[in-house]
Homo-oligomer: A and B are copies of this chain.
Amino acid sequence: MSHPDGALTVFPVRGIGEIHPGDPLVEVLAAVLLPGAGEEESHHHLRDGDVLVVTQKVVSKAEGQIVALDPADPDAKAALVESESVRIVRRRGDLIISETRHGFICANAGIDLSNVDDGTAALLPVDSDRSARGLREAFEHRYHRRVGVIISDTFGRPWRRGVTDVAIGVAGIAGVVDLRGTADATGRVLEATEVCVADEIASAAELVMGKATGFPAAVVRGVPDGWLRPSSVKDEIIRPPEEDLFR
């Protein structure tokens, strides 16, 4: 829900612990995000209008998207990346930039070698929009909390150093908000201002999760109510090849 003063609060979700294939992720999240029996609501509990950001890694683990991989065998890693890709975009040394079967263009097909047990790797969820919808609907129907859900992952970018978190799946929260045609402060009609708020929310969440601090989820509170609507990364964020100048 939008704060009256326009502020946004971002806080990490604590106490999630290690996730294993088959774990009921929504129950794990609900256990730490909702008040227990007899417990009072606090500002750390999930509220209507909040956006819950969950990292790809715990979603992939819960969904069993874990495969064996010998970390000492670079050929095995390359073969796995290729098997998860529909097209190689660039390759330099060990680094492969490819288009995944989901339509993402990213390093190593989004395969994650950190925070998984030695000898295994975590693939991306099969359909991260569906994963987000599953969490959103469970929170609404089982726990009576209407929230947006973003599945986030960490991608590099051309031209700029460092990774940032982006949305790979969304539910109940806008991907791109179209401000075209809105008059700006001088009355001029803005041109082409479609803001990818889902990626910006994922980035804001990453700031409190950190890579090494072990918080695989965060809550973003205070986004405008109008952003809380049906959406998907596939339809709103992935740029179709015919619009893309860099494939």
Complex contact A105–B159 (CB within 8 A): yes
A160 at the interface (CB under 8 A from B): yes
Does A115 sit at the interface, judged by CB under 8 A?
Answer: yes
Interface contact B193-A114, CB-CB below 8 Å: yes
In the complex, the answer to whether A188 meets B114 with C-beta atoms within 8 Å is yes
Identify which of B162, B188, B196, B223 contacts A199 (C-beta below 8 A): B162
A residues 28-73 near B (Cβ < 8 Å) are: 44
- Which residues from chain B contact A200 at a C-beta distance below 8 Å? 164-165, 203-204, 206-207
A189 CB, min distance to chain B CBs, angstroms: 9
A72 to chain B, nearest CB (A): 14
Which residues of the other chain, B, contact A157 by a CB distance below 8 angstroms? 157
Query: How far apart are A118's CB and chain B's nearest CB, in angstroms?
Result: 7
Contact B12 A9, beta carbon cutoff 8 Å: no
The answer to whether A114 touches B204 (Cβ under 8 A) is no
* Contacts known (A164-B199, A194-B163); A10 close to B8, Cβ less than 8 A: yes
Pick the interface stretch among A79-87, A134-142, A143-151, A175-183.
A175-183
Partner of A204 from B8, B195, B215 at Cβ < 8 Å: B8
CB <8 Å contact, A245 and B207 = no
Given known contacts A7-B9, A161-B238, A246-B159, A114 and B184 CB-to-CB distance under 8 angstroms? yes
User: Can you add 13 more A-B contacts, CB < 8 Å, to A159-B246, A161-B196, A193-B212?
Assistant: A7-B208, A90-B246, A114-B184, A114-B188, A114-B193, A162-B177, A162-B197, A162-B199, A179-B212, A182-B211, A185-B214, A200-B206, A203-B204
A→B interface (CB under 8 Å): 5-12, 18, 44, 90, 92, 95, 97, 104-105, 113-118, 154, 157-166, 175-177, 179, 182-186, 188, 190-191, 193-197, 199-201, 203-204, 206-208, 210-215, 222-223, 236-239, 243-247
